[in-house]
Amino acid sequence: MAGEFRPILIVNALSTWMRAEVHRKPDVFVQEYKIGKPTGAVKKVGKTNKTGTVITFQFDQTIFKDANYDLTTILNHLRQQAYLTKGVKITVVDERTPIKYLSNRQNKEITQNFPYTFYFEGGIVSYVDFLNHGQELKHKNIFYVGKDHQGIFVEISLQYIEELTSRELAFANNIHTIEGGTHITGFRSSLTRILNDYARKNGFLKEKEDNLSGEDVREGLTVVVSVKLKEPQFEGQTKAKLGTPDARTAVETVMNVEFSDWLERNPNDARAVLDKVILASKARLAAKAARETVLRKGALDGMTLPGKLADCSTRDASESELFLVEGESAGGSSKQGRDRRTQAILPLKGKILNVEKARIDKMLAHQEIRALIIALGTAISEEFDLTKLRYHKIVIMTDADVDGAHIRTLLLTLFYRYFPQLIEKGHLYIAQPPLYKIQKSGKQFYAYNESEKEKILDGLRTDAGVASKDKSKKETKSKARGKDSGGDWEVTSLDGQSPAESLEEATEEVAEGEVKISGVSIQRYKGLGEMNPSQLWETTLDPQKRLLLQVNVSDAQDADKIFDVLMGSEVMPRRKFIQTHAKSVQNLDI
């Protein structure tokens, strides 16, 4: 059976029931199946002026034990398919979760399933435009070609942005080949050759200068490569990599002609592209020199550890931990309170360099980052070696304020960009020091958030025979509502702020206040330096009592987008992100 019918065969085999409705002008045909077998002959059921097929099925729960359709996954896939198939319109309706809303026109509540519709006139050009939304574009016009070569249809769209990494999406028959394959290999080789030829021809590269590398020409590149071919050869069952040799030839042939012609027809865009890739080449050579200076394996092996590093005594990496501590004062308390056998402390002075905006040569010249790299022992970039990691856990330990959050974000950016393997292998953690210390009658309690604090205080109130905060709050509001039912009253503002509009509102702040308990003191920690060594051990360092959050980048593409917005050079996307999420921010320390 032809390849296009295989998905229907698979759906039928995995379903307890399936119905196929085929529209073929001027008739509509229907056939139903049960456990993979037809329940009757094909029937003609009506007339149509459309062409297409509707498949309805119920998955077999004996095969899919915990099957549940995830709407986000379905929408992301179908959106991608709409980009890859120019002009197709896809509509999705989730009938499981209808939305209720109040209709002003009908003056009643209505339940409705709202459709999601995807239609992109530009196809993969629209896809590249979507991927680059909010980025700083290096050139205006997006390159596109769609052309057949010996039975293989090749589509390529690309644009450069002000970025250090590349985004290369490759597809074969609309299947996302996440591991690439012959089509992406053909694209890369032709791109490198074309840009080198153009650079030589137009004087961007001098005779004695080295050619641009593949790494240079892909810096800041966003590209979608899509091929459609008969009988594609994939490597492995997951279809993650295309193995068809002819796909490479087809992509190279189409690129060699069409991209070369695009550069000639768009000289301003061509200059912007060449300026970008030549700058990348110069930065690569500078970074290589810096790496050779700082990270030569021989030099690194013999390099002494940073003087401010308080190392642990064990040489067993599986039981050792490195704490990256904000500031010298907190570093001093941490060094005194730690378990010296297994815990190392590296104090960091101030805010480290924002590596999202800096090239690797500048990053390696930064004293705090160099100290961290040497302490980790893995080296970096091409010389990264996970087997040389000196600590099983790397713990970021910063204050619970705005500066601490900023330092934590800068460190997360550094690890995400240059040590992703440490995140993938589960070596990176964030310490969760307590926010409050509560004392009564010589006893100490630590609360890591507001709810824990209230739970501890409610317990102390109960022991002391005092009404809980929630009960007091309800009683205060109840009394306010009773007195607000009538009569004349007036609220005057003495500080220039807007007065309350009701007695109930006026009593809200009183109701929100703490119900005092005799002999209880509450301390709000804003810095790790406020804790003495024993408190720091008990709350943050003791493996039996501490709270650590493991850093896990489950969706690299989403994380990459967020880091671009928050730590990149573009102001408008960051401002929009802050405005969108401002209402969800809680406990902001300023």
Check whether 585 has a pLDDT greater than 90. no
How many structural domains comprise the chain? Answer: 4
156 and 277 share one domain = yes
Q: Which residues contact 248 (CB under 8 A, 6 or more apart)?
A: 182, 183, 185, 186
Asked if residues 212 and 192 have their Cβ atoms less than 8 Å apart, the reply is yes
Looking at the chain, the whole-number percentage of residues with pLDDT higher than 70 is 78
Question: For residue 493, is it within any domain?
Answer: no
Question: For residue 21, is it within any domain?
Answer: yes
372 and 444 share one domain = no
Question: For residue 245, is it within any domain?
Answer: yes
Question: For residue 303, is it within any domain?
Answer: no
Asked if residues 248 and 185 have their Cβ atoms less than 8 Å apart, the reply is yes
414 and 469 share one domain = no
Question: For residue 265, is it within any domain?
Answer: yes
What average pLDDT does the segment 328-348 reach?
A: 88
Whether cis (ω within 30° of 0) applies to the bond prior to 26 is: yes
458 and 407 share one domain = no
Active site residue 399: yes
Looking at the chain, the whole-number percentage of residues with pLDDT higher than 90 is 42
Check whether 517 has a pLDDT greater than 80. no
Active site residue 210: no
Active site residue 401: yes
**What is the tens place of the pLDDT at every residue in 388-432?**
999 999 999 988 777 888 888 889 888 988 898 999 899 999 998
142 and 258 share one domain = yes
Asked if residues 392 and 320 have their Cβ atoms less than 8 Å apart, the reply is yes
Check whether 478 has a pLDDT greater than 60. no
| pLDDT the model gives residue 72 | 85
**What range defines the domain where residue 464 resides?**
434-474+519-524
575 and 457 share one domain = no
Radius of gyration for the chain, computed over Cα atoms and rounded to the nearest angstrom? 31
| pLDDT the model gives residue 588 | 47
Between CA 73 and CA 76 the distance in angstroms is: 5
Residue 252's SS3 state is: helix
What's the Cα-to-Cα distance from 520 to each of 370, 436, 438, 516, 576, rounded to whole Å?
Answer: 46, 13, 7, 8, 44
Active site residue 452: no
Residue whose C-alpha is closest to residue 569's, from 156, 161, 16: 161
101 and 185 share one domain = no
Last residue of a domain, one of 86, 119, 152: 119
Tokens of 360: 């690797």
16 and 47 share one domain = yes
* Per-residue pLDDT band at 18 (split at 50, 70, 90): very high
Residue whose C-alpha is closest to residue 539's, from 454, 459, 449, 431: 431
- Report CA 436 to chain centroid distance, whole Å: 31
Pick the catalytic residue: 60, 179, 401, 530? 401
Largest CA distance in the chain: 93
Q: What is the pTM of this model?
A: 0.56
Pick the catalytic residue: 399, 504, 538, 564? 399
* Per-residue pLDDT band at 333 (split at 50, 70, 90): confident
Given the structure tokens 């953690």, which residue do they identify? Answer: 429
What average pLDDT does the segment 285-293 reach?
A: 70
278 and 155 share one domain = yes
11 and 52 share one domain = yes
| pLDDT the model gives residue 298 | 38
**CATH at residue 67:** 3.30.565.10
Question: For residue 102, is it within any domain?
Answer: yes
Average pLDDT score over the chain: 82
**CATH at residue 272:** 3.30.230.10
Does residue 178 or residue 554 have the better pLDDT?
A: 178
Question: For residue 499, is it within any domain?
Answer: no
**What is the tens place of the pLDDT at every residue in 119-154?**
999 999 999 999 999 899 999 999 999 999 999 999
Asked if residues 438 and 521 have their Cβ atoms less than 8 Å apart, the reply is yes
106 and 236 share one domain = no
DSSP character string of 107-119 = TEEEEE--EEEEE
Count of other CB atoms within 10 angstroms of residue 424: 13
Question: For residue 388, is it within any domain?
Answer: yes
Pick the catalytic residue: 163, 252, 326, 538? 326
Q: Hey, CA dihedral for 271, 275, 281, 284, is it positive or negative?
A: negative
**CATH at residue 375:** 3.40.50.670
391 and 341 share one domain = yes
